Homo-oligomer: A and B are copies of this chain.
Amino acid sequence: MENVTIRMLAERLQLSTATISKALSNSHEISEETKQRVLALAAELNYVPNPYASSLRKKSSHTIAVVIPEVADSFFAEAINGIESVAQEKGYHVLIYLTHESFAKEEAILKDFQSGRVDGVLISVTTETSAAAHGLTQLVKEIPVVFFDRVCEEVTAARITTDDANAAYNATTHLIAGGCRNIGLLSASRQLSISNRRAEGFRQALADHQLPLTPASILYCSNDPAATQQLLQTALQQNHYDGLIATTEKLATAVYLACEELSLAIPGDVQVIGFSNLSTARFLQPSLTTVSQPAFDMGHAAATVLFKALKSSSFPLQEQQQVIPSSLIIRNSTKSGL
């Protein structure tokens, strides 16, 4: 059985395809009676419009893209959840692209969007993405783009972030209050703005408490788990940190693993804070003190802002800057201040 098209409906009802199209879109040009007949036949024949024909003509795809480094991370998974909830409500489709932290992949993906495949893009950039992100610069000129969490500061676009500097400041202060004097910050990137913001908050907190910032204070980890593990173990042995802040979920788990390997007690030998949305954080051994990011809300907010721009081209999308606060949830991997 062939696919049912508007032309078939037209022939059966002895009407023009234009009439069918207008009837289906509830145009005022069509009589109530005709609309009913069209709708009835469409339902009977199980007519489903071809989205690509429509997209081609209307130059809009009713589809958005989500570009993220990875999906097996509870932050991104929850963010997708938030995005999808809005998209589903608006009847939009969601294309997912994973960059696996590769800038080259990201550029290739973004280039494809110049084809009109998607009406808008929600993106959290890779750890490698830098100012010279040509694809991004180009993209924001062509379609609505919203950054969430990992923004590219050099590019003017809407941004949904958390209070990274603040969160890091508070986390650091919490460790200091718990007695730490030699704190290490595990960072995922040198160029990522959220990494730098977190480092900034960290530095500020150290400074405010007259603690020194040494080259060993900030550890830049790569995207390779094995290398990170190696780096971590070496650093832990050399520097005898008494506090660690893991700025990504993967790094938090890596710290637990490294401490296990080196038989370091948490929080006895090292206190640990993780930026994470792990639902299991409270059941970890020891339960993990976390900077918990509003992942779902950020995804939701990002999508909401994007759809406002899609609805009205006069919406000042590029000016949208929302900072959604994260919260420090204190558990047993850190010692409460005395």
Interface residue ranges, A against B (CB under 8 Å): 3, 46, 48-53, 55-56, 61, 63, 66, 70-74, 77-78, 80-81, 84, 88, 93-98, 105, 111-112, 114-117, 253, 256-257, 260, 278-280, 283-287
Q: Within 8 Å CB of A66, what residues of B?
A: 96
A50 touches B116 (CB 8 A): yes
Residue pair B84, A71 in contact (C-beta under 8 Å): yes
Whether A80 lies near B96 (C-beta < 8 A) is yes
Asked if B88 and A98 make an inter-chain contact with CB atoms under 8 angstroms apart, the answer reads yes
In contact, A114 and B48 (Cβ under 8 angstroms): yes
With a cutoff of 8 Å between Cβ atoms, the chain B residues found around residue A114 in the complex are 3, 46, 48
Q: A46-B114, A77-B71, A285-B285 are in contact. Are A95 and B95 (CB under 8 A)?
A: yes
- Is A72 within 8 A of B61, CB to CB? no
Q: Which of B63, B72, B74 contacts A78 (CB 8 A)?
A: B72
17 additional A-B residue pairs with CB within 8 Å, beyond A72-B77, A80-B96, A278-B280: A3-B114, A48-B112, A52-B116, A52-B117, A63-B95, A71-B77, A72-B74, A72-B80, A77-B77, A81-B98, A84-B96, A84-B98, A93-B117, A94-B95, A256-B280, A260-B283, A284-B284
CB A334 to nearest CB in B, in angstroms, measures 16
Q: A98-B84, A116-B52 are in contact. Are A256 and B285 (CB under 8 A)?
A: no
Given A71-B71, A77-B71, verify A111-B48 contact (CB < 8 Å). Answer: yes
Asked if A56 and B52 sit within 8 Å, CB to CB, the answer is: yes
Give A114's nearest chain B residue, CB to CB: B48
**A223-B188 Cα distance, complex, nearest whole Å:** 35
The residues of B that contact A81 with a CB separation of less than 8 Å are: 70-72, 98
Residues of B within 8 A of A61 (CB): 52
Collect the chain B residues with CB atoms within 8 Å of residue A48's CB: 111-112, 114-115
CB contacts (< 8 Å) of A116 on chain B: these are: 3, 50-52
